[in-house]
Amino acid sequence: MAIFQFDDKIPKIGKDCYIANSAEVIGDVALGDGCYVGPGAILRGDYGKIVIGENCGIEENVVIHARPTETCTLADWVTIGHGAIIHNVKLINDYSVIGMGAVVSDWADVGKYAAVAEGAMVRNGQVIGDGEIAAGVPAKVIGNTSEEWRKQWLTFKKYYVDFAHTYRIRLKRLG
């Protein structure tokens, strides 16, 4: 894994995290316990700060960055899908999911149990409320997550917590 100090900024990695060898965690980044950071992901806290809560899944090729002197925050149990870009968001709240290839831009706020669909573009300062589902370019609210969806989603989120544990134990480099 590639964990880098930038000037006096040193990443803080929680216990039981898995960070892929090809991922980069740079500078002022705090990862909570039990997080999974997949191959190719870049968490760039060079000028701003990135705070990621516990049990988050940061899938392959995700980019997370914060503007100078600002903080990009993901709460607990957040999943960021393959290839998504998270740029200087205000907050992605507990149990939310950002779909594959989605972009969540500066100062956006994504509520608890919210879902941003694959390929969606959440604009600067846009608010996606608790339990809302947003899709499209630009993202528009198209519905709400159901209680059944939330229960199912918690089951899926546990896979990434398990990955953080099992990848550290079972993944073996060949060659």
Tell me the pLDDT tens digit for each residue of 14-37: 999 999 999 999 999 999 999 999
Query: Contacts by 143-151 with C-beta closer than 8 Å and gap 24+?
Result: 145/113, 145/114, 145/115, 150/95, 150/113
Banded pLDDT at 172 (limits 50, 70, 90): confident
State the CATH number of the domain containing residue 40: 2.160.10.10
Q: Is residue 63 included in any domain, yes or no?
A: yes
Enclosing domain of residue 73: 2-170
Burial label, 57 (beta-carbon count in 10 A; 0-12, 13-18, 19+): buried
Strands 103-104 and 115-116: unpaired
pTM: 0.93
Determine the 3-state secondary structure of 72 from DSSP.
strand
Q: What region does 131 belong to: left with phi over 0, alpha with psi -120 to 50, or beta?
A: left
CA 135/CA 132 separation, integer angstroms = 10
Q: Is residue 67 included in any domain, yes or no?
A: yes
Q: Is residue 103 included in any domain, yes or no?
A: yes
* Average model confidence (pLDDT) across the chain: 94
Determine the 3-state secondary structure of 169 from DSSP.
helix
Q: Is residue 175 included in any domain, yes or no?
A: no
pLDDT tens for each residue of 91-101: 999 999 999 99
Partners of 44 in the beta sheet?
Answer: 26, 65
Q: What pLDDT does 1 receive?
A: 60
Sign (positive or negative) of CA dihedral 173, 16, 47, 59: positive
Cα end-to-end distance, the chain, whole Å: 17
Mean pLDDT of 158-167: 80
Q: Which helix (H) or strand (E) holds 90?
A: none
**Per the structure, how many domains does the chain have?**
1
Banded pLDDT at 133 (limits 50, 70, 90): very high
Q: Is residue 104 included in any domain, yes or no?
A: yes
Q: Is residue 122 included in any domain, yes or no?
A: yes
Q: What pLDDT does 56 receive?
A: 96
Banded pLDDT at 161 (limits 50, 70, 90): confident
Q: Hunting for tokens 């049990």 — which residue is that?
A: 55
Nearest alpha-carbon partner for 67 in 45, 84, 82: 45
